[in-house]
Amino acid sequence: MPPARAIAHVDMDAFYASVEQRDRPELRGRPVIVGGAPGGRGVVSAASYEARPWGVRSAMPISRAARLCPHAAFLPVDMEKYQRVSTEIMAILGRFSPLVEPVSVDEAFVDLTGTASLFGPPAGAVAAIKAAIRTETALTASAGLAPNKFLAKVASELEKPDGLVVVAPGTEAAFLAPLPIERLWGVGRVMGQSLRDMGVTTVGRLQALPRDTLVRRFGAHGADLHDLAFGRDERPVVPSTAPKSIGAETTFGRDRRDTRHLHATLRSHAERVARELRDQHLRAATITLKLRFADFSTITRAVSGEPTQDGLEIFRRARDLFDRETLHLAVRLLGVSASGLGPEDAGQLPLLDPGAVKRDRVARAVDRLTDRFGEGAVRPASLLDRDDRDG
């Protein structure tokens, strides 16, 4: 039998807010909320641990966070800075294993299986990773170490901030048993309520149900729930530096209904996404539209086709998705993203559209001008009279 895997999940603590507190000493010990001005219409991207006792959480509307914690420091998102720090952290992880799988800018899985001869027992290696992050970035990370990715992720969340939880091989079911069922992947509000209606409130109670019972009630997802309840997860750690998607979105300064403005916003986002695709020498097969309405309800719609990095083509697909929707409420947020990414030489540009070759040449010329003179130096004529005050 092969030795048990040793998978770590490293998760930075309140990453954006912690970076800001590190760089601005006057914010240390104070509630810090990253996401925008308190009177704005965005959402909380990160809240420091000092803000959390006041009920502030990520993805909460900024306006609500301001009511809950009016004395907090409210800061805009500085993604360029956070990405630089993230690059430093991923480099530290890479010193301990070649198998590092970034999940987002502030978390990653690390496969430490077979590294004991270099770094000692895996638990000691994870402690060394945390110490290196603290020493080199002045930030703290929480970590979980377990025989698989699912358990490592759950473990990393249990003792934040600056925690380290180890799940030893053979203890998987016992570790999970006392936890609430919402700790299982795929158990959201609806699924959680369905399980609670069955009297299942903890993972241990779920473990007591026969697999067939869960399959009859929930189909294929029932089988997945049964496996997760016992801590079974065979997925490998897959190193990846390529993005899974590229997107752009706007939260409007006021809710919008006017189609002309919304179409113009879509075009602007499409051009921004297209430029990033060209910068990374990628094409995208799937275009996704995101709409958030005045009541905070959110929908996404997607369409797939020939891979593209053409801003006009991305706009056309997004606009078609948009035009199929009936706007019963005004729009609060509008976004466009591209996924199904592949190398740019995989597309069949001449076959797609006779005008695409010409647009591609023009777009690359615009890219060079933008690099030289800055964002917005050249843009489609349809955007020249657009009201940009929404940001």
Q: What is the DSSP string of 259-328?
A: HHHHHHHHHHHHHHHHHHHHHTTEEEEEEEEEEEETTS-EEEEEEEEEEE--HHHHHHHHHHHHHTS--S
Residue carrying the six token digits 């002309």: 260
One of 101, 107, 172, 313 is an active-site residue; which one?
107
Contact 376, 388 (CB under 8 A): no
Distance CA 283, CA 347 (A): 7
Rounded CA-CA distance 175/168 in Å is 9
Q: Is 306 a catalytic residue?
A: no
237 φ/ψ angles, rounded to the nearest 5 degrees: -80, 120
- Under DSSP, the state recorded for 139 is -
CA–CA separation, 324 and 333 (whole Å): 17
Token digits for 69? 């914690």
Using an 8 Å Cβ cutoff, are 58 and 46 in contact? yes
Strand arrangement, sheet containing 32-34: 46-47, 32-34, 73-75
Calculate the dihedral angle through the C-alpha atoms of 190, 194, 196, 201, rounding to the nearest 10 degrees: -70
Residue labelled with tokens 């390529």: 242
Calpha distance 182→339 (Å, rounded): 28
C-alpha 388/C-alpha 391 separation (Å) is: 6
List CB contacts of 77: < 8 A, sequence separation 6 or more: 16, 34, 35, 36, 45
182 three-class SS: helix
Supply the residues annotated as catalytic. Answer: 107
